[in-house]
A and B are shown apart, each in its own frame.
Chain A
């Protein structure tokens, strides 16, 4: 079959380096992956095409790139899956990272973030005589984050990183979870304290992009949500993010539905006067257009709200 590839090229050594798209039309067998096709281009048509790969079997994590706008492992993506009718396949380097050449990006940002979460065991207390013993069950929830092959796909497409390079990002936070949830680690509290700060767990937008693109099912966002819960238990509700969750729960437990106005006030802090004043123009604009929701105590209860309240109470009392 014919494969139509449109590849983003960038040559840093060109007299005036700038990115451009280049089309390749090649004849390939039906079972070819995007990576197979790119390698064929490099071997038969254009030896100047730069790309990174090694295992060709979705193990090493080297070949992540954007295919039709989404980060994927090129070796795990069949051409027929992304271009069933022989459409043009758009191939670009990963996002959120500096392009070195063509499809190769500089992974410094990725590795710096992984390093920042101290990705090694820090046991507490004196060393045991033999090995550290951990029960089978206590290690089961580490299996998902341990599946990470460090490909960088999640970092490429993370919408929070795109606006703020300070965010630790999905891969590093999933890695942090891996150690915090490890029963042999003794530094969980310190780790959670760091993650409670700017750039940590609260800056994730919950956009599901990392869950969608991760080729090994790490689901970094789900790990981040578990970390938020741990932060709230261990450190307390000290941040706007944590207050946001508490206020949300309070209003639904009380009335069955969300009190949007109180949610804003509580998240900023009820006594945070400068913030409240700075947001007044927005409140007035909304009020003038008949869309400022009435806050507690004017926020009315939904019918059956007492049953919703009961569900909350039972859930609280059954919590481990």
Chain B
């Protein structure tokens, strides 16, 4: 299965381990990735605050580039990119005049978006196209005894109208299904669907840190050894800011935050190094030991 791969800015910047671990597991899963070279940032909801049309034009350009590669499914590894693209696609497909207007902006580059692109997150591709049974068959190093709290965050589930949750209600539970397929145990906790605080990290640090502390502490108190996230922005906050959040909350936290492909990679027996586990801010040592993989 071949996909137009959109790694997003953050997996090429602040969370390189997400990129590394995705490439590592994709090969085993039979997911062939062709990166959309030259694609721009999706706007991440921020440029959309300036104007929806600006963001929609940038995303239509990326969709047109995927079509030019002869591919129709864009595979995302960032929930935020995924959600922003899905909403842009929804607006572009709902109004032919709007799409035509936007296509005019793409003309100088010789691009045209014809409306055939489908936007999917890696988690959706794994469950819906690779299949959980196929994933289980690839699990050579199951992770019994590892308690993983899935942290969905916002953009992979909301707004549900843009994310096909009506047709695919199971998407609300995919992280749990994947954690189980890896032989680990999903942990339910109150922060599961909430905001990680990243979007206001640079704006209202106090509130953002409180969100990090609340979610990581509650995951820990519900027995989690680690949290698993489908979004590198959640990772930047929950992992990168955890020491700050702990200092502000006046207590130790120390909850490792895994990117989804890292968890899968551990269950496939990749070494910690191959999955970039040493690049985290919060030490992942306990998880590497529990998974008994090579360092």
A160 nearest CB neighbor, chain B only: B207
Q: Give B100 Cβ to nearest chain A Cβ, in Å.
A: 15
- Residues of B contacting A310 with CB < 8 Å? 108
Q: Given A293-B13, A311-B58, are A240 and B202 also a contact pair (CB < 8 Å)?
A: yes
- Residue of B17, B61, B244 near A282 (CB, 8 A) is B244
Number of A-B residue pairs, CB cutoff 8 Å, is: 157
- Of all chain B residues, the one with the shortest Cβ separation from A70 is B193
Query: Would you call B269 an interface residue if the criterion is a C-beta within 8 Å of the partner chain's C-beta atoms?
Result: no
Q: Complex: how many Å from CA A204 to CA B154?
A: 13
CB of B169, distance to nearest CB on chain A (Å): 10
A248 — nearest CB in chain B belongs to which residue?
Answer: B46
Q: Which of A263-320 contact B (CB under 8 A)?
A: 263-264, 267-268, 282, 285-286, 289-293, 302-305, 307-308, 310-312, 314-315, 319
Bound-state Cα–Cα, A159 to B262, Å: 28
CA distance A303 to B40 in the complex (A): 9
* Complex: A257 Cα to B61 Cα, angstroms: 13
Contact of B155 with A by CB under 8 A: yes
Flag whether A57 is at the interface (Cβ < 8 A).
Answer: no
* Complex A-B: 16 CB contacts under 8 Å: A159-B211, A160-B207, A164-B206, A202-B200, A203-B207, A204-B200, A206-B195, A207-B158, A258-B10, A260-B9, A264-B202, A302-B40, A307-B61, A308-B61, A311-B54, A311-B61
Cβ of A286 and Cβ of B207 under 8 Å apart? no
In contact, B41 and A252 (Cβ under 8 angstroms):
yes
- CB-CB under 8 A for A290 and B16, given A160-B207, A256-B40, A310-B108: yes
Contact status A268-B13, CB under 8 Å: no
Checking A163, A167, A308 against B40 with a beta-carbon cut-off of 8 angstroms, the contacting residue is: A308
- Contact between A263 and B202, CB atoms less than 8 A apart: yes
A245 on interface, CB distance cutoff 8 Å: yes
Q: Is B105 an interface residue (CB 8 A)?
A: yes
Contact A203 B281 (CB under 8 A): no
How far is it, in angstroms, between the C-alpha of A286 and the C-alpha of B14 when the chains are bound? 8
Contacts known (A256-B41, A302-B40); A289 close to B203, Cβ less than 8 A: no
B40 touches A244 (CB 8 A): no
CA distance A8 to B48 in the complex (A): 40
Taking a contact as CB atoms under 8 Å apart, the answer to whether A163 and B211 are in contact is yes
- CB < 8 Å: which of A244, A289, A314 contacts B281? A289
With A207-B158, A311-B57 known to touch, is A163 a contact of B10 (CB < 8 Å)? Answer: no
* B108 surroundings in chain A (CB, below 8 A): 307, 310
Instruction: Name the one of B15, B41, B159, B207 contacting A291, with C-beta atoms under 8 angstroms.
Output: B15
Cβ-based interface call for B273 (8 A): no
**Assembly CA distance A204 to B155 (angstroms):** 15
Q: Which residues of B contact A315 (CB under 8 A)?
A: 51, 53-54, 57
Q: Contact: B9 with A160, CB < 8 Å?
A: no
For residue B158, which residues in chain A have a CB less than 8 angstroms away from its CB? 207-209, 211-212
A26 interfacial by beta-carbon distance below 8 Å: no
| Extra 7 A-B pairs, beta carbons < 8 Å, given A208-B155, A211-B159 | A164-B204, A205-B207, A206-B45, A207-B194, A244-B202, A252-B47, A252-B58
Q: With a CB–CB cut-off of 8 A, which chain B residues contact A160? A: 195, 200, 207
